[in-house]
Structure 1
Amino acid sequence: MKLNPEKCTFGVRGGKFLGFMMSERGIEANPEKIKAILSMKPPKTVKGIQELTGRLAALNLFISRSVDKGLPFFKILRQGKGF
């Protein structure tokens, strides 16, 4: 395996890796992804719900009982109608 020194960072306490924040405390949610969800307008279409569930899926590791909390959205998507 070859490492590109221009792309490598050594001796840091934390940073972004594969979309997650890595630190000495472990893996944490990326604040940019959280801001993206908080700044979203309430979904008014099926496409909007799909966007919201996609963003939530990226953070489901950090949301307790994420399946239970996302169930109302998935029920709307399963119906295939507007709301």
Structure 2
Amino acid sequence: MLWVGERTRQLDGAHVEFLCGVANPLGIKVSDKMNPSDLVKLIEILNPSNKPGRITIITWMEAENMRVIEILNPSNKPGRITIIN
């Protein structure tokens, strides 16, 4: 599985642009540093047709910095399909 992470998830960056053309499922590593609205935008960019199974969110943070609920809730907008790993 290909993924974008802390250093490669710029919304207008080359990695995200490249992954838009990949048909395989993709992962998004989410750390406590990620802005929740950026996660929603990234999901919309990488999965514009909302294909089930296209995006897997991979949490990447230490227990004391855990903000999973705050970060992941925006991705669960009505109609947005996301698998959380």
TM-score, reference length from structure 2: 0.30
- Name the larger-Rg structure: 1
TM-score, reference length from structure 1: 0.30
Between structures 1 and 2, the one with greater helix share = 1
Between structures 1 and 2, the one with greater strand share = 2
Higher RCO (CA 8 Å, separation ≥ 6 residues): 2
